[in-house]
Amino acid sequence: MVKQLEKPDATAQQVEPKFRPNAVVFSGDGEPQTPEWIVGRLNELLAAGKLEQDAYSLGGSVEALERRVAADLGKPAAIWLPTGTLANHLALRRLAGTRSRVIMQEQSHIYQDEGDGLAKLSGLNPVPLAPDRPYFSADELRTALEIAVSGRVLNPVGAVSIESPVRRQAGQIVPLDEMRAITDLCREAGIPSHLDGARLYMMSAATDVGVSEYSAMFDSVYMSMYKYFGSPFGGAIAGTAEFIENMFHDRRMFGGGLSSGYLPAALTLAGMDGFEARFGEAMTKAKALFPVLGELPGVEVRAFEHGSNIFELVLGDGIDTDTFVKKLLESEIVLQWPNAEWATPLLHINTTLLRRSNDEIVAAFSGAAG
């Protein structure tokens, strides 16, 4: 007999610290969403006349969002997709054409987390570089390109994909100079390049490099809608008009032509307004906060050499991590711990940092460490 799992207690969920309005959540890229928040936001958009219905993801708020993404990224056109997995897949499928090899980071989402979808669904062969590292160099790429055309069977590379920031590497980014060298090499070799820029706007805030400057280096760019713009799902690809033209047929063929996409699209549009300023303010606040936290006994906040909005929290031997995290939770400060992908707690900067003063946060950390 199969044991039925008990349903979670709704009251307990409502008081979960990460959903409280004053909670600082050092986890995730955006503010935690609740059903109440999403429904309330949709009601506001309805009252303001900003919910425009689409027809199978064509027209309405979906089209408005596509125009906004294209303008922000400096590309002629864009298309909305329900998931990032589908967005990356369709972009690489179209870029590569009949050339089956696609080069990417071994630590990328496409290689690690998409179930060999490129190979199984589109006959594309992912070639992973830079194992256990955030990025590969232009020299490593050059070697891979030479190998592809010097073997017994000619098998040239069809596309090159770069993920930045890299989620599996604690949000570390591909340095701008290396990114330019890689994309310049791609253009010289006549090979299209794709940016998996799910967290593009956060990378821009962390590096002070505009989203359109990043976008200009690549033939196609994917960006996420749900990670920090307040939508429950969705993403978009931007590129040339020729590249995007008729891609809605591919979207439908792969089951992504949703009958109604205007709700997540409208939420995304609202979340994009003012986001760069808010996130920039959060990053500035974190830069002032972390040195002060580092003055507490046994507490160090460590930046990655090529980091974005994620930092390591390194605790001294005299501090029990589990107890420390639990005490912070009592003060409505949330850390994601334990973390199966990283050996130390990570501090994710997002706009929940704006909910409390730095003095309050320092006091909470001090109490947890004491």
Residues pairing with 228 in the sheet: none
pLDDT in tens, 91-112: 999 999 999 999 999 999 999 9
pLDDT-derived band at 243, boundaries 50, 70, 90 = very high
State whether the Cα torsion 84-89-90-91 is positive or negative: positive
Final residue of a domain: which of 243, 272, 301? Answer: 272
Give me the long-range contacts of 14-18 (CB less than 8 A, separation at least 24): 17/329, 17/332, 17/333, 17/334, 18/334
Q: What is the pTM of this model?
A: 0.93
- Rg from Cα positions in the chain: 22
List helix spans (H) across the chain: 10-14, 35-47, 60-73, 84-96, 109-112, 117-122, 138-150, 176-189, 200-207, 211-216, 241-244, 247-253, 262-272, 275-293, 321-330, 358-369
Same domain, 217 and 279: no
Same domain, 141 and 19: no
Final residue of a domain: which of 256, 272, 288? Answer: 272
* DSSP H or E stretch at residue 24: strand 24-26
pLDDT in tens, 110-137: 999 999 999 999 999 999 999 999 999 9
pLDDT in tens, 142-166: 999 999 999 899 999 999 999 999 9
Final residue of a domain: which of 222, 240, 272? Answer: 272
pLDDT in tens, 286-318: 999 999 999 999 999 999 999 999 999 999 999
Same domain, 213 and 296: no
Contact present, 130 and 140 (Cβ < 8 Å):
yes
Please give the residue range of the domain that contains residue 321. Answer: 10-30+275-369
- In whole angstroms, give the CA distance from residue 123 to residue 303: 40
Same domain, 113 and 257: yes
Q: Supply 89's token pair.
A: 């897949």
- In whole angstroms, give the CA distance from residue 290 to residue 82: 36
- Given the structure tokens 């590309």, which residue do they identify? 75
pLDDT in tens, 252-267: 999 999 999 999 999 9
Q: Supply 359's token pair.
A: 């003095």
Same domain, 253 and 333: no
Q: How many helices (H) and strands (E) does the chain have?
A: 16, 12
Same domain, 238 and 295: no
Q: What is the CATH number of the domain that holds 282?
A: 3.90.1150.10
Per-residue confidence (pLDDT) for residue 325, from 0 to 100? 96
Residue 304 domain flag: yes
Structural domain tally of the chain?
2
